[in-house]
Amino acid sequence: MASQDGTDTGRTGMPLFPAGFLWGTSTSAYQIEGATSEDGRGQSVWDSFCRMSGRVNNGHTGDVACDHYHLWPGDVRLMRSLGVGAYRFSLAWPRLLPRGRGRANEAGLDFYDRLIDGLLEAGIEPWATLYHWDLPQALDDLGGWTNRDCAGWFADYAVLAARRFGDRVKHWATFNEFSVFTLFGYAFGWAPPSISDRTAHLQAIHHVNLAHGDAVAVLRRSVPGASIGAIHSFQTCRPSSEEPADVEAAALFDEHWNLCFPDAQILGRYPPRIAAAIDPFVRAGDLARVCQPVDWFGMNHYAPIYGHADPQMLWGFGFGAVPDSLPRTGVGWPIDHSAFETSLALAWNRYRLPIYVTENGFGTQSRPEPDERAEIDDPARVAYLEGSVAAMRRSLDQGIGVKGYFVWSLLDNFEWGAGYGDRFGIVFVDYRTQERIPKASARWYAALIGAQPPPAPGAE
Ligand code: FCB
């Protein structure tokens, strides 16, 4: 059967993907684990940030979140019932090394041992991300990513994780969304460590790139058969008007948001507008250290971004107006699936690596009681995910090497500055009881996965 756009839809009406295409769900440690003061976990910069007045919506914190630290067996069962082949989660650096370096925390290591074993028993591939924004506070006290030594501290943490889990975890990502935590943390001041300083921002970019390169080398050495990548926020960046100042601002925004990490890591150079500014922080041999061969390109895609000139902002660019013609998600992000196709094509043509879409999803704003559970029927999320999957299918038809897709997110969770106000889960979480209730989108996702052809005999 063929759909109107020519996509093969099989008997179920669902788009069909090549055998072996990977379907998964994504989460991150601080957003779901809770137990932030339990079993020896150290504090992270997000624990501190949540305690600063006015930073996170309603003063919410990740202290309890989805209590995944205790409830993970049920969460693994949920994933199994969806039929996912892989689960992308992050390791909390301060749970493994409470002070960021030095003595490891056995109880923290044990937690991930249990989770990984549980996933493998359920037939779900663990995909571990080393860093999803929760820098140990003790390291931030030493300058965090502005301190060049932070790359070495990160590499030591990677050694610990690789030696402990590398016998069972074969899929590794170094960082999640380099550009977002560095821009928001060191340039815009919207996330920890809430700095807005050009030198600090450029140092952070370069030191994070060094940390990535060092961690790839560690993983390659320590994990036999490792498949290693990094996860980039990759959103088509457009100027919000044709004014030359906006066009130039959007070009600089694009370099900062989309290009300066993967270009350095995969092409071995910084994009032109950033190159001159960052040069004073780059020492001889650094780019060779940053640019280690990786196996795949992790792309988080949500929405196009619009840049405009804004002299109030540190680098003279900021988020500009979105065209009125574009529909919006429940959290106001523009919906434009053609931007997803553009980003996939750009990443494929520029970096020539197999692409895994490591996040894609739809946010809604929590409804006030008593209507909160009306969220469980989420046709707008289903429509958005269908649109993304169709865009990915069209990209495959164009010869673009997309190999897998992870929905953000398995669970409603702590959505950073928005606290628990924004919900991205395909499974609803009642934060008073920790009850999990699959939404219509979870049923849709299970049906999509169930409709796919089985892996070829003898395939992994
Ligand atoms: C991405 C983050 C993820 C989540 C989604 C909605 O930028 O990687 O943690 O917050 O956005």
pLDDT tens, residue by residue, 234-253: 999 999 999 999 999 999 99
CA 104 distance to own-chain centroid: 25
pLDDT at position 1, please?
Answer: 45
Whether 460 has a pLDDT exceeding 60, the answer reads no
Helix (H, G, I), strand (E, B) or coil at 368: coil
**CB distance 416 to ligand 1 below 6 Å:** yes
CB distance 184 to 190 below 8 Å: yes
Is 177 an active-site residue?
Answer: yes
User: What does the pLDDT average to over 209-222?
Assistant: 99
Return the CATH fold of 22-450: TIM Barrel (3.20.20)
**Best of 57, 175, 190, 300 for a ligand 1 pocket test (most atoms within 8 Å of beta carbon):** 300
C-alpha 302 to ligand 1 mean position (Å): 9
**CB distance 336 to ligand 1 below 6 Å:** no
Q: Where are the alpha helices (DSSP H) in 279-378?
A: 286-290, 337-351
Closest approach atom of ligand 1 to CA 133: 9
| Interval 14-58: pLDDT, tens | 999 999 999 999 999 999 999 999 999 999 999 999 999 999 999
**CB distance 359 to ligand 1 below 6 Å:** yes
**∠ at Cα 87 (82, 88), nearest 5°?**
140
Q: Whose CA is nearest to atom 2 of ligand 1?
A: 177
Residue 283 DSSP symbol:
P
What are the boundaries of each domain within the chain? 22-450
| Interval 175-191: pLDDT, tens | 999 999 999 999 999 99
The token duo for 285 is 């041999």
Nearest to 237 by CA among 381, 140, 334, 348: 334
**CB distance 424 to ligand 1 below 6 Å:** yes
pLDDT band at 459 (very low <50, low <70, confident <90, very high): low
**CB distance 415 to ligand 1 below 6 Å:** yes
Is the overall model pTM greater than 0.85, yes or no? yes
Q: Whose CA is nearest to atom 9 of ligand 1?
A: 28
- Give the H/E segment covering residue 305: strand 305-309
| Interval 326-361: pLDDT, tens | 999 999 999 999 999 999 999 999 999 999 999 999
Mean pLDDT, all residues of the chain = 96
Nearest to 202 by CA among 274, 287, 284, 289: 274
Count the helix, strand and coil residues of the chain and give each as a percent rounded to the nearest 5: 45, 15, 40
The token duo for 211 is 């940390």
Q: Tell me the C-alpha to C-alpha distance, in Å, between residue 453 and each of 9, 152, 354, 396.
A: 11, 44, 20, 16
Is 359 an active-site residue?
Answer: yes
